[in-house]
Structure 1
C-alpha cells in the first residue's frame, strides 16, 4: 500500500501544504472499511441492548 505525504512548495502559503487528490481505495480496502463500520455499529447496539436489560435493584 502506498502512503501519500503532502509536500511544501514555494507557491504554498504558510500553514497550507500543497494538496493532491487522495488515492483511490481498492475493493479489498472498501470491504474492510464497510465491515469495520458494521462491526462498530453492531457492537454499539449490543452495548445499548445490554444496558436496557439490566434492571435497577429492587428495593426491599
Structure 2
C-alpha cells in the first residue's frame, strides 16, 4: 500500500468515525433525538470545538 493510499484510507476511517453508524443515527432521529455531535454543535459557537481521539 502506497503512502497516498494509506492517507486516503485514514481519511475514509475518520469520516466514518464522524458520521457514526448510519443505523444508530437513524434510530436517534426516529426517536426525535439528536446525536451527541449534533447536540454539541448546537451548544457551542461554530468552530470552537476541536474533537480529539475520534478513532
TM-score by length of 2: 0.38
Structure with the greater alpha carbon radius of gyration: 1
Higher share of residues assigned helix: 2
Higher relative contact order at CA 8 Å, sep ≥6: structure 1 or structure 2? 2
